[in-house]
Chain A
């Protein structure tokens, strides 16, 4: 309901600036990756796909990307059961020490990433598993777990408890009620949560930086190490892979649960 012009002018003023600031890096990275030149310039000098050809040949970039995908997969596979169960427990049951458990589960969020990363580095180091890839996935899962739980609790909260009672009334056992009533109700939350977990793990930088070494370097760390060197257009091209993944995730999110889910009041 925008009645006054001054209101919409001010509103749109802020929103336009925000839009430009939000989109500029993406657009510039996209544009630079298409340059025909050998230096990063914008606008690009001539259009070509040669840098995409270059990254297809670069085994180190491809390996790093595959490692990132593996890390994201581990993260998501662990997060789905852990986050779903915790979300359902928090949303549906009267748990003793609920406040304390909430604070505890928010730890990944309240502990700064550098602290979490160093702590996990020490733990994994002592356990002798540092230098393998799966602990990186576990680490990404731990530090982002609140996102999964939030997504699930948001869905579970909208589930009417009477529905479950009705199912039980109709003779459904607890397991059946869970599988046919509770689980489907929280499915949108699980989908959006796991997509979020996957993407966040794919992009995770600081904790990866602490946990990986050259043998198992992931793509964000590889890019970071390279932009500290000379910035070449192949980095723009590989960055576009991230943009493509983001686009795919948004598309899926919109298709499966609708982006509007994030606007729902809770």
Chain B
């Protein structure tokens, strides 16, 4: 460790010269918005680590953001597939113990990211040049500045195998209670995305969240009798592909991935509605100055139109930069809301309520499912 620190100044100067030369010729310079910072560009780390979800999620991020970032800067990007909930306490502990955090960039749900922002472990991103081009969706609600940047929105749809629904697309979440789907449905292991439609399907009101969610828990308890599989994003794709399940409450991306692989899968927004939410990127505190700089460049790059177009084509989700072209298969798709009326069937709960209660909801869902 200490030896590394000793040789750093010389290395820094040398790699600065190399970096400057390489960047002088780089075409994507203005796209990165770094022209201003060019003169004092800090030393490049060998790699930066970005936490990501597995399967098609990480593939899309790699194709849209990471690969082009590496091409432009020469910095390799390693993707860490630790689950979002698991990386959180590790980052918190690292910041509390003044250690270097385990990752450079966290790709996170907005709710989880907001928790970290409230705890003060996030770096401020307000000075990213590309923030001036983004839509309202990118701005986190109820926080000062940009401790996180939202990068797209998504819907927790009801994805299904049409062959298992001979009477046509399911109209209600209640159709999953059909005995023939016993052991053939799936949810996220913490129930994320399903709590709110379950509240409606259970006869409750969205306004009662979080005060009275008994209808949701009752409905989820009924679902438990169906012995659902519980997993994370890539699991849904795998399960659909391997024929393990017929229906799931999952982000459309996972179902679309199975469809891309030739499996007949469709999705709907049932009459009770479906949850709309956002994901974002943020940087934990405690990184060395130069690594922080390049982590910020990574997020800045993720906000360019070029990067968003490829990344979100892969995910099949609406981004935060104006003028993106929707993928051909998702034009007018309910999982790709673009216009005001597209949102009428989607459930949006305030960030504050989610931040304060989501842990309890997760625990409650797990308690029901493990019972």
A and B touch in the complex (CB under 8 A): yes
Q: Which residues of chain A have a CB within 8 Å of any CB of chain B? A: 60, 125-126, 128, 130-131, 213-215, 217, 225-226, 228-231
Question: Is the C-beta of B326 less than 8 angstroms from some C-beta in chain A?
Answer: no
The 7 closest A-B pairs by CB, nearest first: A229-B54, A213-B102, A214-B80, A229-B234, A225-B81, A214-B49, A230-B55
Q: Given contacts A213-B103, A215-B49, A225-B82, are A230 and B98 in contact (CB under 8 A)? A: no
Size category, B interface: 20 to 34
**Is B82 touching A60 in the complex (CB atoms < 8 A)?**
no
CB distance from B298 to the nearest CB of A (A): 15
Partner of B99, one of A130, A214, A217: A130
A214 to B103, CA, bound (A): 7
Cα of A231 to Cα of B238 in the assembled complex, Å: 8
- Inter-chain contact A228/B54, CB cutoff 8 Å: yes
How many residue pairs at the A-B interface have CB separations less than 8 Å?
A: 54
A131 touches B82 (CB 8 A): no
In contact, A214 and B238 (Cβ under 8 angstroms): no
What are the residues of chain A within 8 A of B81 when measuring CB–CB?
A: 225-226, 228-229
Among residues of B, the one whose C-beta sits closest to the C-beta of A60 is B78
Cβ-defined partner of A228 (8 Å) among B49, B94, B234: B234
Q: Is B100 an interface residue (CB 8 A)?
A: yes
What's the minimum C-beta distance from A170 to chain B, rounded to whole angstroms? 50
Q: B residues within 8 A CB of A131? A: 94, 99-100, 102
Besides A131-B99, A214-B82, A231-B238, 19 more A-B contacts (Cβ < 8 Å) are A60-B78, A128-B97, A128-B98, A130-B99, A213-B90, A213-B102, A214-B49, A214-B80, A214-B103, A215-B49, A217-B80, A225-B81, A226-B54, A228-B54, A228-B83, A228-B232, A229-B55, A229-B234, A230-B237
Chain A residues, Cβ within 8 Å of B83: 228
Min distance, Cβ B105 to any Cβ of chain A, angstroms: 11
- Whether B51 sits at the interface, judged by CB under 8 Å, is yes
Question: B279 at the A/B interface (Cβ < 8 Å)?
Answer: no
Q: Mark B36-74, 1 if CB is under 8 A from A, else 0.
A: 000000000000010100110010000000000000000
A126 to B99, CA, bound (A): 10
Instruction: Give the complex CA separation of A226 and B83 in angstroms.
Output: 11
Contact digits for B78-116, partner A, Cβ 8 Å, 1 yes 0 no: 101111000000100110011110110000000000000
